[in-house]
């Protein structure tokens, strides 16, 4: 079944996005193995996470609005976040994947939220540190993700919020709540 999804997305996106999706799926499986998550679910969520990224804006918006998720005004104002919600819709309604954990991992892979499931954290972090990523300090963030999912989330969210605020972009409330949640978890562990 997983190979069917790989073949499906190959026809839905350009070569660069396809390579990224395959790399995210591979990193999801790697993280799932380390942290005791279901490997197949991790692969499916990873391979499909960007399946609507190259759909036109009208399609993304229509699917996003039909997905049944709360959409923060900051998400609505930022087209770069639409594809995650639209992908969750597509996966459930077009592919028939009813697994809420997979759908939610896809939905929140760009914005996060507090108290994420293990699979949600895996997809969020895998998207950030997949093999083709080459931004400054990616190796450092990759090491954080491979060592501890919660600490990886804290550091990834701190980095993401810093980038968004530096670019004068709105930050969804769920992202801020996620940062606060993982910062509190870190403080409780004494880091």
Domains defined along the chain, listed by start:
2-189 (1.10.3210.10)
Asked if the model's pLDDT at residue 190 lies above 80, the reply is: no
**The pTM is what?**
0.96
pLDDT, tens digit (0-9, with 9 covering 90-100), for 17-47: 999 999 999 999 999 999 999 999 999 999 9
Q: What tens digit of pLDDT does each residue of 69-117 get?
A: 999 999 999 999 999 999 999 999 999 999 999 999 999 999 999 999 9
Dihedral angle sign, alpha carbons of residues 96, 97, 99, 104:
negative
Query: Residue 134 has what DSSP assignment?
Result: -
């Amino acid at each position: 079944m997983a190979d069917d999804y790989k073949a499906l997305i190959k026809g839905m996106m350009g070569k660069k996005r396809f390579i990224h999706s395959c790399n995210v799926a591979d990193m999801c499986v790697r993280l799932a193995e380390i942290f005791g998550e279901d490997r197949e679910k991790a692969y499916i969520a990873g391979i499909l996470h960007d399946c609507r990224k190259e759909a036109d804006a009208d399609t993304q918006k229509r699917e996003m609005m039909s997905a049944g998720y709360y959409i923060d005004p900051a998400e609505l104002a930022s087209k770069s976040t639409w594809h995650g919600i639209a992908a969750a819709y597509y996966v459930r309604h077009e592919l028939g994947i009813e697994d809420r954990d997979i759908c939610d991992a896809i939905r929140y892979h760009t914005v996060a939220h507090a108290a994420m499931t293990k699979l949600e954290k895996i997809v969020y972090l895998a998207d950030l540190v997949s093999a083709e990523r080459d931004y400054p300090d990616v190796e450092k963030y990759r090491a954080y993700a491979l060592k501890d999912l919660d600490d990886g989330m804290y550091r990834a969210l701190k980095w993401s919020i810093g980038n968004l605020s530096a670019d004068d972009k709105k930050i969804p409330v769920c992202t801020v709540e996620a940062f606060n949640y993982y910062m509190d978890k870190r403080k409780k562990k004494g880091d």
